[in-house]
Amino acid sequence: MENLIRTIKPMKKLINGMATVLTVLLAGLAGCATEPTDLSGNSIIPKPVSITPAGESFALTAKSDIFIMPGSPEELTSIGNYLAGKLNPSTGLGLEVITDGRKPGKGDILLAIGTGDEELGEEGYELNITGKVLTVTANKPAGIFRGIQTVRQLLPPEVEAGTVGEGPWTIPTGTIRDFPLYGHRGVMLDVARHFFGPEDVMRYMDQLAKYKMNVLHLHLSDDQGWRIEIKSWPNLTVHGGKTEVGGGEGGFYTQEEYTQMVKYAAERYITIIPEIDMPGHTNAALSSYPELNTGGKAPELYTGIKVGFSTLDTRSETTYKFVDDVIREIAALTPGKYIHIGGDESHVTKPDDYVYFINRAQDIVESHGKSVTGWDEIAHATLKPGTVVQYWARAENAVMGLNQGAKVLMSPAKYAYLDMKYDTASIFGLNWAAYIEVDDAYNWDPATLVPEIKKENIVGIEAPLWTETVSTFKEAEYLIYPRLPGYAEIGWTPAEMRSWDEYRVRLASHGKRMELMDIGFYRSPLIEWEPAVE
């Protein structure tokens, strides 16, 4: 017995000792979980250009506010209010925007213009996070806006919940220096095959902003519907806007609604590029005005999903009066440089007529002070300086455009089309170009895809969503997410810094953020989602 006690006692001591060590270890781990100190362990998408960890922790508290120094551009106050609007509902910390010259103290955020650092350009930013203050610096307000998206992603996922969570709202300390690879990082949304109202479009813009994207290309007209009010040709929407694929009720944006969307975009440093697709993909317009048709007879409205059967009468001056009126009205609503004239799949327009039409449409766009962008077929015409050719189908068209001095926007259907199914089991989408799983969507480089198209020829990347198969935005979300963050990263992060194996881990942690924002994303089996998908 004695012997037994003699052995048990030291054992107990040993166990107690081990328990103490374990408790300390666990406390340490728990400390790590609640008070992150390693800035390199983030899951920011798109991946920043450079991160230097400092090993401590910054915390937002009830005392925190957002500071803007006197003399800063007015826009910074709006950005500060936007940030407060994102953080307050979930943190409950009541951050206010302070512009009266007081200095930031412990736990505050400072937004400041003026690094004088040319490499950061228009949209780059620097985050300096100390235990005391989190400072976002940039050359331009656009850079501050991109920088605060990084701040959101550095906070715990619950920051996106929109209802008050417990926190703690901590961020590891260090420095992030970041700027985009391409100037044009966008998506295209087809609101013609199915109509999506301003609220859906604005919700989409919130997500684009979150991933630092800066262009929303709206496909405003097609065979199935005309979606923007044109005051000089009212029947385009009265008649041409009243249905959609499958025979639903369609819809259109009034010019006032459209202006609201343009403003909402601008507040997120997003440019809307409006597209009027011509001379093909025009059945809705042809059905609205008989005089636009060769032969003068209006066809019925169309609710199917075939392409390539319609054309404007390219040899009629009425057509050019129509194009001039439409472009004039749209140019007046468009602060951006570009108007997209479509130009794709005009299979029933004779080649000579097609070239004649595109040349005249370009003149009209220029006469209203804008530059032309169009699908890659427009390279068959004589392109004006400053034109952007959107490569979607035929590399030889894009190269023909390059040889005329145009720049290329990369939207190869096989890699960048958000409406392609993920695999044979996908519940929405088409598959005529490819099945595009999340890794296929991520694993390509715009600058090496076509040997003749080099980095310096490319303005950026755009991921189009054609909407033949989706009639609600919830359905659209299944196709958009989780491929969208990958396209954002392709546009922002240098190709040599990207790797699928590392990206898929970061993407996994965005599952929780998307859930908290009620985004109906596709749970790709290639991603180990957090939280796990049953």
Minimum CB distance to ligand ACM smaller for 45 or for 284: 284
Minimum CB distance to ligand ACM smaller for 113 or for 413: 413
Contact between 377 and ligand ACM per CB under 6 A: no
DSSP 332: H
Minimum CB distance to ligand ACM smaller for 270 or for 420: 420
CB of 283 to ligand ACM, least distance (A): 14
Please check whether residue 257 is in contact with residue 111, taking contact to mean a CB–CB distance below 8 angstroms. no
Please check whether residue 359 is in contact with residue 343, taking contact to mean a CB–CB distance below 8 angstroms. no
Position of minimal CB gap to ligand ACM: 344
Nearest to 417 by CA among 450, 397, 440, 400: 440
What phi, psi does 210 have (nearest 5°)? -60, -35
Nearest to 209 by CA among 517, 479, 523, 528: 517
CB of 391 to ligand ACM, least distance (A): 10
CB of 392 to ligand ACM, least distance (A): 5
Rounded CA-CA distance 503/491 in Å is 14
Minimum CB distance to ligand ACM smaller for 110 or for 220: 220
Which residues in 140-199 contact ligand ACM (CB under 6 A)?
none
Nearest to 127 by CA among 115, 135, 139, 118: 135
Q: Which of 56, 345, 366, 530 is catalytic?
A: 345
Angle at alpha carbon of residue 273, lines to 267 and 277, rounded to 5°:
155
DSSP 75: H
Strand, helix or coil for residue 110: strand
Contact between 477 and ligand ACM per CB under 6 A: no
Q: Is 175 exposed, middle or buried (0-12, 13-18, 19+ CB in 10 A)?
A: middle
CB of 364 to ligand ACM, least distance (A): 21
| Residue the block writes with tokens 């969507």 | 441
Minimum CB distance to ligand ACM smaller for 179 or for 392: 392
Contact between 437 and ligand ACM per CB under 6 A: no
Whether residue 345 lies in the annotated active site:
yes
Minimum CB distance to ligand ACM smaller for 271 or for 390: 390
Minimum CB distance to ligand ACM smaller for 82 or for 309: 309
Q: Locate the DSSP E strands across 108-193.
A: 108-113, 125-129, 133-138, 169-178, 184-190
CB of 307 to ligand ACM, least distance (A): 7
Minimum CB distance to ligand ACM smaller for 173 or for 346: 346
Rounded CA-CA distance 202/204 in Å is 5
Taking residue 56's Cβ as centre, other Cβ atoms within 10 Å add up to: 17
Rounded CA-CA distance 449/394 in Å is 12
Strand, helix or coil for residue 516: helix
Strand, helix or coil for residue 507: helix
Q: Are strands 221-222 and 225-226 parallel, antiparallel or unpaired?
A: antiparallel
Rounded CA-CA distance 65/414 in Å is 46
Give the count of residues interacting with ligand ACM (CB under 6 A): 4
CB of 344 to ligand ACM, least distance (A): 4
Nearest to 44 by CA among 146, 144, 121: 146
Please check whether residue 370 is in contact with residue 387, taking contact to mean a CB–CB distance below 8 angstroms. no
Binding mask 336-375 for ligand ACM (x = CB under 6 A): --------xx-----------------------------x
- Dihedral sign computed on CA atoms, order 443, 445, 450, 451: negative
CB of 351 to ligand ACM, least distance (A): 18
CB of 375 to ligand ACM, least distance (A): 5
Distance, first Cα to last Cα, the chain: 53
Minimum CB distance to ligand ACM smaller for 322 or for 392: 392
Minimum CB distance to ligand ACM smaller for 149 or for 390: 390
CB of 333 to ligand ACM, least distance (A): 23
Q: Is 79 exposed, middle or buried (0-12, 13-18, 19+ CB in 10 A)?
A: buried
Taking residue 33's Cβ as centre, other Cβ atoms within 10 Å add up to: 9
- Dihedral sign computed on CA atoms, order 162, 167, 169, 172: negative
CB of 29 to ligand ACM, least distance (A): 51
Binding mask 378-397 for ligand ACM (x = CB under 6 A): --------------x-----
- The residues that touch ligand ACM, with contacts defined as CB under 6 A, are 344-345, 375, 392
Active-site residue numbers? Answer: 345
